Amino acid sequence: MSMPRIGAWAAGMMLAAAPALAHAAASSDQQQGMAIFQHGGHGIPACAGCHGSQARGGMGPRLAGLGHAYIVRQLHDFSSGARQSRIMENVAKHLDATTMRQVAAWIAALKPRLPSRTPRIESPTLKLLTEGDWSRNVPACIDCHAGALMGDGDEIPALAGQQRGYIAKRLRWFKALKTPPNPPAGIMSNVAGQLSDQEINDLAKALSALNGTAVSSLKKENSGEVASHAAIKKRRKIAPASAALPESRPLAEAIRHGEQIFMNTPEQASRYVGKNARLSCVHCHLNRGRLATAAPMWAAAIRYPLYRKKNHRVNTLAMRIQGCFRYSLNGAPPPPNSHTMVDLIAYIHWLARGQTIGAKPIAHGFPSITKAALPPDKLRGARLFRMRCALCHGQDGQGKVRSKKVLFPPLWGAHSFNWGAGMHRIDKAAAFIKANMPYGAGNSLNTQDAWDIAAYVESHPRPEDPRFTGNIPETIRRFHSHRDVDFYATLHSQD
């Protein structure tokens, strides 16, 4: 056998053996973790004494169903004092990185025991679970913890079937935080701080009764009411508006379908979305297109037709939507008479019920952002991203997918918006980040941090601008703002 063939054979054998070795290592970690969990060791008592032999709860909360990375992070936080519990702090301090990993491997492999019956949940609580209340900057629970409230399988915990008392205790702990740290505690502190004690009790009751099925399946038929859009201007709440579905059944169905397209665009409008794209309209236009600080759709409905510098012509609303498909979704413009376009416009106009066509809306686009004291810096932005953004979007910026549903969108790479999208302008990205991020805790970043994070995000590769001429400086000069030229020059100087 020739040397090249021997080398290829050996490499093939190594590749074939790699999964088996990885599985053996994982199994070994689980066995070691099981022994520590059930019998104790390393100076700690058996975890099973409080959490049950299969980690399904007892005196302590249920752990089965939590992700490996989440468990490791909690143990580190207990050990460092970042998360406080006298019992768990004493336990975690006796565990090194290896034993933490082993215990987490055992717990993460266990299946939770969930309630067998489908619960009945009161409407106000169901609304918090599925829609949130953005008039208080409270996102829906399912927006972060997934549609069945089973977490992301990684660092965001499962809530369905968790002990009622434990959930209430944790929410009250978050609510009491005076100076919350970085996410996730900072986000949850902001959310819990807006909830009343009764809402906390009701949420704890509902979450403990969930059995792992999609919460949306518990929703009643649309009664005609829609959650209000709360416009926030200078941090003041504007009186909410509501809209009822029209009596015309075909129009009502078009509106409902338009909302589905808006919420899950790659699935509902696949022929017009880029092959690899994972973004939906709602990822930029938060709260189903109703949030005042995230380019609300009700404002777009009354502003268009409008002259746009981007293409130097008067644009209709349909043309504006076509641009979103071409750039933000890296796809193809849906025809004006297509079901996709007609139903999206029906939904957008429905959101604008009661407003005056041509009037200046109380909010539109993203709130303006002032210039930072220092030039945007992607190196500072990288550090901030790891601390403030990676929990949701991942260290690699590729977001998170759970059960084929995008929980958090990718910020760069093949699955994200292309170079021609408005969000690829650093001023637009910085304004969006400042007003709305971290999710549910908008305006918690200072102006410099928002610009730096935007610089880091925009410095990564992404699909090409479909208008690309083959020459980067020429493309920027013809189709992009002068601010983009300055920005990219700054980025190159940092390389």
Domain containing residue 68: CATH number: 1.10.760.10
Considering the domain architecture, whether residues 384 and 487 belong to the same structural domain is answered as: yes
Considering the domain architecture, whether residues 56 and 138 belong to the same structural domain is answered as: no
Chain centre to alpha carbon of residue 462: 19
* Per-residue confidence (pLDDT) for residue 232, from 0 to 100: 36
Q: What are 474's two structure tokens? A: 């020429």
Assigned domain for 53 exists = yes
Considering the domain architecture, whether residues 471 and 387 belong to the same structural domain is answered as: yes
Assigned domain for 177 exists = yes
Considering the domain architecture, whether residues 431 and 479 belong to the same structural domain is answered as: yes
Residue type, position 54, single letter: Q
- Residue ranges of alpha helices (H) inside 352-443 are 378-388, 390-393, 426-436
Residue with tokens 């986000």: 187
* Per-residue confidence (pLDDT) for residue 178, from 0 to 100: 83
Estimate the crossing angle of helix 447-458 against helix 426-436, to 10 degrees.
130
Assigned domain for 198 exists = yes
Q: From CA 301, how far away is CA 323, in angstroms rounded?
A: 15
Assigned domain for 314 exists = yes
- Residue ranges of alpha helices (H) inside 116-248 are 123-130, 141-145, 164-176, 185-192, 197-209
Assigned domain for 343 exists = yes
Q: What are phi and psi of 308, to 5 degrees?
A: -125, 130
Domain final position from 83, 108, 133:
108
3-state secondary structure of 313: strand
Domain range for residue 454?
Answer: 378-494
Considering the domain architecture, whether residues 102 and 128 belong to the same structural domain is answered as: no
Extract the residue ranges of the chain whose pLDDT is less than 70: 1-26, 181, 219-243, 481-495
Q: From CA 53, how far away is CA 43, in angstroms rounded?
A: 19
Assigned domain for 367 exists = no
Which helix or strand (DSSP H or E) is residue 454 part of? helix 447-458
b/e code 427-436 from CB counts within 10 Å (16+ = b) = bbbbbbbbbb
Domain final position from 202, 217, 232:
217
Q: Which residues contact 25 (CB under 8 A, 6 or more apart)?
A: none
- Residue ranges of alpha helices (H) inside 211-248 are none
Considering the domain architecture, whether residues 143 and 210 belong to the same structural domain is answered as: yes
Q: What total number of domains does the chain contain?
A: 4
* Per-residue confidence (pLDDT) for residue 216, from 0 to 100: 84
Q: What is the DSSP letter of 470?
A: S
Considering the domain architecture, whether residues 386 and 490 belong to the same structural domain is answered as: yes
Considering the domain architecture, whether residues 149 and 72 belong to the same structural domain is answered as: no
Considering the domain architecture, whether residues 336 and 272 belong to the same structural domain is answered as: yes
Q: Calculate the CA dihedral of residues 491, 434, 307, 327 and round it to 10 degrees.
A: 60
* Per-residue confidence (pLDDT) for residue 478, from 0 to 100: 83
Assigned domain for 45 exists = yes
| Whether the bond into 438 is cis, omega within 30 of 0 | yes
Considering the domain architecture, whether residues 143 and 37 belong to the same structural domain is answered as: no
* Per-residue confidence (pLDDT) for residue 23, from 0 to 100: 54
Q: What is the DSSP letter of 139?
A: -
Q: From CA 57, how far away is CA 66, in angstroms rounded?
A: 12
In this structure, how many other beta carbons lie within 10 angstroms of the beta carbon of residue 164? 15
Considering the domain architecture, whether residues 490 and 385 belong to the same structural domain is answered as: yes
3-state secondary structure of 122: coil
Assigned domain for 140 exists = yes
Percent of the chain with pLDDT over 70: 86
Distance between first and last Cα of the chain: 47
Considering the domain architecture, whether residues 398 and 474 belong to the same structural domain is answered as: yes
Domain final position from 108, 136, 159:
108
